[in-house]
Structure 1
Amino acid sequence: MRPESTGIVHFGLGAFSRAHQVVYTEDAMLATGDRSWGVLGVSNRMRGVLEPQDYRYTVLERGEGAAAPRMVGALSGVVRGEDVPELLARPQIRVVTLTVTEKGYRHDPATGKLDLGDPEITGDLTGKQSKTVVGQLVHGLRRRVGGPPLTVVCCDNLPGNGEFLRGLVESFCHAAGLGALADWIGDNVTFPSTMVDRITPATTEDDLREAERELGYRDEALVVTEPFRQWVIEDSFAGDRPAWERAGAVFTADVEPWERLKLRVLNASHSLLAYFGLLLGHATIAEAVGDPVLRDACSGMITDDVLPVLDAPTDAVEYGRTTLARFANPALRHTTKQVASDGSQKLGPRLLGTATDLRTRGREPRWIPYVVAAWLRHVETTEDLRDPLAEELRTDPLRRVLPDDPDFRGQVLAAHRQLVHEDPRAVLKEVLDGRA
C-alpha cells in the first residue's frame, strides 16, 4: 500500500529495517486504515536504489512457513543525512526509528559513552553540517524546539538501547554547549527501548538473479529474510504512534528481559558460530550450526554460561533450541564473515556482560573466553577486517574491548594460546569433554 503522508523518519535503511520495521508499519496501516505513517528513510546509499522503483521493494521469505513474495510500499521516500534537521522540525513527523548497527553510534564500546575523540563526532560538534547519526539527530531536535513532542526508537542490538541513545544525545548536547536543548529534550522527547528479531542477511547478486527468475522482474532493493519476526517495544511514547501491536508487536513496561534474552542467547550464539565457523572453514551460519561440535558448543554456552545469570521472560532453553533451528535455515545464506564484522562493538552486549555477571556471582565462564579468543584470531588473521576500530585492534585488540578485569583477560589469553597452537575443533571438544 502507499501512504498518504509521512509520520516516521528512519535512520539506516538496510535490509533488516526493510524486512522488519517498515513491514510492521505497513501492516499497522493496513490493519487500521490510517495511512499517515509513511516511512521516510535516511540513507545516501539506498536513495539511488529505491528512487527508480518508486520506493517499492520486494520481501522474499525463505524457509518453512514462508509467505508469498510481497511488494512493500510503506516508504514515502529516501533522503540524505543532511536533510534530517529540516525534517525533524515538521510537526507531522511523530516518530524517529534507527537501525544503524552498533558502530553507527560512535560510542566507546568499553564504556557505552559517546566517543568525543571520534573525528566525525568532533567535526559535528564544531561544524554546521553533521555527518554522524547522533549529530544529525541533535541538530534536528534543535530545529524542533517549540514544536510537538517526539519519540526516538532505537532498534539496534545494544543493552538498554533507548537509555543508551538518550545518553549519547545528552552528551553531545552538553559537549556542544547546548544545555538548554538537553533540558527541552528531557521534557519533550522519549527514547523507548526495544528488542528486534528477524534474521535478514545482506542481499547478494545470486539472490537478485534467483528472485528475478522466480518473480519475473528485477528488484535492486530485494530483501531475503526468514518467516519469523519479533518486536518488543517499551510503551513510552511522547505522542501518537502506529498501531504496531495490530501487526504483532508486543508493548511492555520493561523490555530488558527480552532484550537480554536475545543478546545473550541468539546474538551470542551467532558470534560463536561466526568466529569458530571461520576458523573451521564454514562460509555460512547454516553450515556452522550444522557442524555437530559447533552446535554442541552453542548449547553448552547457553547452558553453562548464560542461563545461570539470565532472568528470562520465557523458556530460555526452548528459545535456545528454536534459535539454533532458525540458524540452520540454508536458504538464508547468512555468511560467517558478515556476522563476524564489527566485533569490537558486539562482544560487550553479547558476551562480556554475561562473563561479568558470572564472575560477580563467584562463577567462572566456561565458553565465553574461547569465543573472545576466536574473535582475536579473526582480528589477527583477517586482512580486510571490517571493524570501526580496525587500526587500533591491530596493535592492542583488548584495550578498548575487554573490561578492566585481569583474571578474565588472563582466561581469554590462555584460550587464545590454545587456538594458536591447537586445532580449534579439538579445543572445543576438550571443553565439551570437560563438561561431563
Structure 2
Amino acid sequence: MSATLNRAEYGRPAAPIRIIHLGIGNFTRAHQAWYTEHASDADEWGIAGFPGRTTLVPRPSPRDDALDAQDGLYQLVIKNAEGDQVEVISSVSATFRSHDITSWVELFADPNVAIVTSTITEAGYCRDKDGNLDLGNPDVIADLDKLRAGRLDVPVFTGPAKFVRGLLARRQAEAGPITFVPCDNIPNNGEMAERVIRQGAEYVDATLLDWIDANVGFVTTMVDRITPRATDDDRERVEAATGIEDPGLVVTEPFTEWVLAGEFKAGRPHWESMGAAFVDDIVPHELRKLYLLNGSHSLMAYCASVIGRTTVYEAISDPRVRGWVEQWWDDAVTQVPLPAEELDAYRASLLERFGNPRMKDQLARIAMDGSQKLPIRIVPTIKALLGQGIVAKGATRAVAGWVLHLRGLGAPVDDAGAAPVLPLVAGDLASSVRGVCGWLGLDDDRVVAAVLEHAEELEASRA
C-alpha cells in the first residue's frame, strides 16, 4: 500500500507563516517554494498558499485537496535528462481556499507576515490595455464596491481587490510594513502590481494611499523554470520509486533562475543562498527572459501547433520550427542590452532545455492568454525594428500563428481576454490579419503583409 505525505513522517516541521502566496500552482511550488525550502534560514519562513481562482464556487482541484490533506507537503520531481531527482518540499506551511477571506484577512493582520508573493498570470492583475486597473471590468468593480461600502466580511475574488482587502486589514491591525513580490512574466512587475493596488486602494479608500507609501514595498522579479503539468505516467513512476501516492506532484526542469530588485520592508529569506540574484537593474534580465524564452514559447505554441506539434520538445526537434525560433531570436536580441556572448550562451542553454526529451511541456498550456502575452513578448520587437525601417520576419511569424490560433487552428483558445479579438477573425484570412494587427497596434502595411504571408504559409503547411 502506498504511503501518504504527512509531516510526522516526511519533510520537516511547518515553519511559522511569514509569506502569503496568491496562486499556489505548479510554478510557484517548483520555484519560489523550492528557493524557500533550501534557503539557509528555511525554518524561519513558512508560506501560506491560496489558489488564484476567482470563482465563488471553487472548482474541483485534486491538487488543492492534496495540499490540504498532506499538510502542504508535496513531492518535486526534477527531470534531469538522465533520470528523476525527487524530494519532499516542506516550505508551504498551510493552504487555504480562494474564497477563505477570513484566513486571508487574519494573515495580513499578522505582524509576523512580511511578504506577499503572487503568480496569478498576466490576466490576474486585471489591467486594461494601458496598464491601469480595469475599472470597466464588472468583476473588479463588484469587488471594489463591496470594500468601498464597508462590506469587509464577504469574499472578494479578483487579485487587486484581495490585495486591497488585505492592506485594509493590516492598517487596521497596525501590523507594520509588508512587501509585495509579484512573480509573473510581466515586465516591471513590481511597478505593475503597485499601480493596480494603489488604483484599487484609491477607489476604495483614498486615505489608504499614504499608509501604503509609508509601509508597503514592491519588488520586481524575473523568474524562470519550465514547469509542465504532471502526467499520470509521472505520478505512477514516482509512486513506484518512492512508495508515496501524491496527487500534488510537481514536475520541473533542472534549470532555475530568480532575479529580484527592490526594497524588502520587513525582511526576507536568504534566497541568495540557493542562487537567487539581487540586483539594482533588473531590466536587461527581464528582457532576455521575456523575449528569448517566453517569446519563443509563444511562437512555438501558435506556429508549431498549427503543423501538428504538441510539446516544446516535439517542436524544437522539427528543423522548421527550430529555424523559426532562431529567426525570432535574431530579431529579439537586438532589443536586449546585454553582451553578445551572454546572449549567445543563453540561446544555447534554451536549446538544451527545450531539447530535454523527458520534459513534456504542452504547447496548449503555453498558448493560454495570448491576448495578454503577445503585446509584451512579441509586439515591442516588431515596433522597435520597424522604427529602423526593418520588418521583423521572425517576430511577425509569431503574430501570424496567433491569428491562426484565434481562427481555430492548432492549440485551442483558452484566453480570458480574447473577447474583443475573436470578432476580428470572423472573416477571411486577409481581413483577420489586418484586424488583429490593428488591435495589436501593428497596422503598418509592411507588417500586415509580412504577417499575412506567414499565415498563408503556415496554413498551407498544417498537418
Alignment TM-score, normalising by the size of structure 1: 0.90
1:106 lines up with 2:120 in the alignment: no
Q: Report what 2:94 is aligned to.
A: 77
For residues 2-401 of structure 1, what are the structure 2 equivalents within 5 Å? 2-28=13-39, 31-32=40-41, 35-43=43-51, 45=61, 46-64=63-81, 68-81=85-98, 82=101, 83-108=103-128, 110-127=129-146, 128=151, 129-145=155-171, 146-176=174-204, 178-303=205-330, 305-312=331-338, 315-381=342-408, 385-396=413-424
- Whether the 8 Å CA contact 1:55–1:73 is kept in 2: the answer is yes
- Whether the 8 Å CA contact 1:150–1:239 is kept in 2: the answer is yes
C-alpha separation in 1, matches of 2:455 and 2:408: 11
Residue by residue over 1:268-292, the C-alpha shift from the partner in whole angstroms, topping out at 9 and shown as x without a partner, is 0111111111111001110000011
C-alpha separation in 2, matches of 1:69 and 1:181: 45
In structure 2, give the amino acid aligned to 1:417: L
- Whether the 8 Å CA contact 1:373–1:413 is kept in 2: the answer is no
C-alpha separation in 1, matches of 2:400 and 2:436: 14
Residue by residue over 1:269-328, the C-alpha shift from the partner in whole angstroms, topping out at 9 and shown as x without a partner, is 11111111111100111000001111111111111x112222026711210121122011
What residue ranges of structure 1 are gaps of 5+ in the alignment? Answer: 428-436
- Whether the 8 Å CA contact 1:61–1:226 is kept in 2: the answer is yes
C-alpha separation in 1, matches of 2:298 and 2:136: 28
Superposition deviation, residue 399 in structure 1:
6.4
In structure 2, give the amino acid aligned to 1:340: A
In structure 2, give the amino acid aligned to 1:48: D
- Whether the 8 Å CA contact 2:74–2:246 is kept in 1: the answer is yes
1:404 lines up with 2:441 in the alignment: yes
C-alpha separation in 2, matches of 1:281 and 1:419: 17
Superposition deviation, residue 369 in structure 1:
1.6
Residue by residue over 1:46-104, the C-alpha shift from the partner in whole angstroms, topping out at 9 and shown as x without a partner, is 43221111211000111237673101111111113323223111101001101111111
Residue by residue over 1:161-183, the C-alpha shift from the partner in whole angstroms, topping out at 9 and shown as x without a partner, is 0001101111112222x211122
- Whether the 8 Å CA contact 2:401–2:458 is kept in 1: the answer is no
Report the RMSD for the aligned CA atoms in angstroms.
2.2
| Alpha carbons of structure 1 residues 68 and 203: separation in structure 2 relative to 1, 3 Å | closer
| Alpha carbons of structure 1 residues 380 and 405: separation in structure 2 relative to 1, 3 Å | closer
| Alpha carbons of structure 1 residues 380 and 54: separation in structure 2 relative to 1, 3 Å | same
C-alpha separation in 1, matches of 2:240 and 2:440: 50
| Alpha carbons of structure 1 residues 173 and 84: separation in structure 2 relative to 1, 3 Å | same
In structure 1, give the amino acid aligned to 2:158: T
- Whether the 8 Å CA contact 1:373–1:412 is kept in 2: the answer is no
C-alpha separation in 1, matches of 2:450 and 2:13: 54
| Alpha carbons of structure 1 residues 421 and 35: separation in structure 2 relative to 1, 3 Å | closer
Superposition deviation, residue 12 in structure 1:
0.5
Superposition deviation, residue 401 in structure 1:
8.4
Superposition deviation, residue 419 in structure 1:
4.8
C-alpha separation in 1, matches of 2:292 and 2:412: 28
C-alpha separation in 2, matches of 1:260 and 1:121: 30
- Whether the 8 Å CA contact 1:85–1:137 is kept in 2: the answer is no
In structure 2, give the amino acid aligned to 1:99: T
Number of residue pairs matched?
Answer: 419
Alignment TM-score, normalising by the size of structure 2: 0.85
Moved more, 62-71 or 281-290: 62-71
In structure 1, give the amino acid aligned to 2:116: V
- Whether the 8 Å CA contact 1:67–1:227 is kept in 2: the answer is no
Superposition deviation, residue 416 in structure 1:
4.5
Q: The residue matched to 1:68 in structure 2 has which SS? A: strand
What residue ranges of structure 2 are gaps of 5+ in the alignment? Answer: 1-11, 52-57, 426-434
